[in-house]
Structure 1
């Protein structure tokens, strides 16, 4: 079986964590399967050298001017394609889409248009198309709606990550048996640590996210960095040993440096491996962050956390873990903020919270396993042909 993993790349660490999550489960179930990805240019999210390092075969794939230029690779001699490991789109049996958050008004019509056109081809060829748990919608803009309807019709299974996403999609395309509700699936991935990582002076992670600057209102955008500095300052005053964890990218690094400098130079940790990032978060007593998958990584390991977010997915995530009070706003007063941070610091509140998160995590992991069984039941239809 040839399986394509789509929209999970190497720039966004949440996307890369999803990539590892998919790889682990698929290789457990289908150890002989060939995994493929469509490579991007060198500076893109799926550069050739990175996907081949993980054992992926490249798929010939390039939409330009409404034409799929990758199809022309079919004119190359088969032996030449085999020599370079090049896979044609028509040879793919299953497409697993792990976009995370791409098909929505917020990210524009492009992604939905691309999926609509691509899924039409796949449906005609009998290729299975499965959208793994992800945030979807809203779909208020009229230009995106016909494309969403097309890819929803063409997909074999669609998993919304929380009730808002489920409602956004079903309000547009109607209730369907193939549209289901399951949580984020990276909770099953185990984190790792480098041999030399020292967690002794790094007890509470601050995880900034530049999306809180460029995806929020002007008032929230301007308040975000001061908010993170206020958190860091209070943690230092309480002797809580905070550090800043760079989850990804130069903009997050810039925020980390400004936070650290403002409170006397607390440690900054930058890690490129998403499995190591999850491992680091698992060693913490608590986290305060804005990176969605950083929060999933913490909560799924029973680490008490506070979140600021720029979309509905943050609120629903904390509802899944029974800790709605863990979502704060950058406009909270110092008094409000300190009360929330004290929930993480004081043993009488932190220990019961940790126990609650651990119990909820086990429930959500069971749901993720159930989701994979539904995915595999659909994929088995191909495997048995």
Structure 2
């Protein structure tokens, strides 16, 4: 059986964490299955070396001007394709889409249209198409709405990560048995705290996100760095041992360096392994973050967390953990910000919040297990 995992990459550590979580489940349930990934039009999110390390087969995939030139690989003898780990699109039995947050007008209609085209092809070839828990919408563009109708019709199972995403889909196509709701599934994968990480000097983790600069209003973008600086100064004043964690790429690193310099220097941790990042977040006393999967990693381990966000998925995540007030407005007064940070630095408040998060995490993990059972039942049918 060939199982394609798509829209999970390596530059975005949240996407890589989803990829690892999918592979863990598939390889446990179907140890003989061959997992496949396409190189993508831009090879940078899906480098061959990274795919090879995880034992992923390579899908022959190259589109130019709407023509699937990857299908020309069918001219190669099957034995030769097997020798080099190359799989044809027509050989895929199951497609697991782990996009996270791709199908929305915030990125334009093109990604939704691509899914509509691809899912029609997979359906015609008898492959099972499953959209794993992810955020959807909003969809206001007419092209996006038409694409949604088509990919919903072509998919066998679709999981919206929360209520608003579910409503963005069902407002267009109506409720359907194969459209379900389930939280982010990376809550099941275990982190691995690296040996070099010093918990005594790194206690409150601040995770910046460049999307707060380019996916928000001008006012939010201009106020984001000053907000992080205010947070860091308050934590330094409280001797809370703050540090900055780079969750993704050079843009986030640049923000971290800017904040650290502005406050007189705090440690910056860079880590390329998503399991190590989750381990670091789990070892902290608290987090203030803007990366969605960084927040999932912290909350799912009972780590008190505060957030700023650029889409509905942040508010919905904290609602899942019964801590809606944890999503902060960057324009909070100093007194309000001081009060919010008490959740991370006040021992009694922190312990109470951690207990609530662990209770909710256990319930959400059970939902994720149920989701995988449904996925595997469909694959086996």
TM range (shorter): over 0.9
CA distance in 2, matches of 1:60, 1:97: 18
CA offset digits 1:50-72 (Å, max 9, x no partner): 10111000001122211111111
SS of the residue 1:129 aligns to: strand
Q: Is the aligned partner of 1:259 residue 2:259? A: yes
Q: CA deviation at 1:195?
A: 2.4
* 1:118-157 correspondence runs (5 A): 118-157=118-157
Partner of 1:359: 359
Partner of 2:64: 64
CA distance in 2, matches of 1:288, 1:60: 41
* Contact 2:40 2:61 (8 Å CA) reproduced: no
Partner of 2:223: 223
CA distance in 2, matches of 1:364, 1:47: 32
CA distance in 2, matches of 1:212, 1:262: 18
Partner of 1:95: 95
* Contact 2:224 2:330 (8 Å CA) reproduced: yes
Q: CA deviation at 1:42?
A: 7.2
Q: CA deviation at 1:24?
A: 0.6
Q: CA deviation at 1:146?
A: 1.1
CA offset digits 1:131-154 (Å, max 9, x no partner): 000000111111211111111100
* Runs of 4+ with >6 A deviation: none
Partner of 2:295: 295
CA distance in 1, matches of 2:93, 2:101: 24
* Contact 1:205 1:243 (8 Å CA) reproduced: yes
Partner of 2:316: 316
| Further displaced range: 282-291 or 39-48 | 39-48
Partner of 2:82: 82
Q: Is the aligned partner of 1:7 residue 2:7? A: yes
Count of aligned positions: 381
CA distance in 1, matches of 2:16, 2:343: 31
Q: CA deviation at 1:280?
A: 0.1
Partner of 1:113: 113
Partner of 2:165: 165
Partner of 1:246: 246
SS of the residue 1:192 aligns to: coil
* Contact 1:15 1:99 (8 Å CA) reproduced: yes
* Contact 1:8 1:99 (8 Å CA) reproduced: yes
CA distance in 1, matches of 2:44, 2:262: 33
Instruction: List alignment gaps of at least 5 residues for structure 2.
Output: none
* Contact 2:193 2:283 (8 Å CA) reproduced: no
Q: Is the aligned partner of 1:374 residue 2:379? A: no
* Contact 1:210 1:255 (8 Å CA) reproduced: yes
Q: CA deviation at 1:79?
A: 2.2
* Contact 2:246 2:269 (8 Å CA) reproduced: yes
CA distance in 1, matches of 2:148, 2:272: 33
* Contact 1:205 1:287 (8 Å CA) reproduced: yes
TM-score by length of 2: 0.99
* 1:315-354 correspondence runs (5 A): 315-354=315-354
CA distance in 2, matches of 1:343, 1:195: 28
Distance of aligned partners of 1:41 and 1:175 in 2 relative to their CA distance in 1, 3 Å threshold: closer
Q: Is the aligned partner of 1:192 residue 2:200? A: no
CA distance in 1, matches of 2:379, 2:126: 12
CA distance in 1, matches of 2:55, 2:225: 40
CA distance in 2, matches of 1:145, 1:194: 45
CA distance in 2, matches of 1:43, 1:119: 22
SS of the residue 1:143 aligns to: helix
SS of the residue 2:361 aligns to: helix
* Contact 1:306 1:327 (8 Å CA) reproduced: yes
TM-score by length of 1: 0.98
Q: CA deviation at 1:40?
A: 3.3
CA distance in 1, matches of 2:319, 2:64: 42
SS of the residue 1:144 aligns to: helix
Q: CA deviation at 1:314?
A: 0.3
CA distance in 2, matches of 1:193, 1:359: 23
| Further displaced range: 92-101 or 34-43 | 34-43
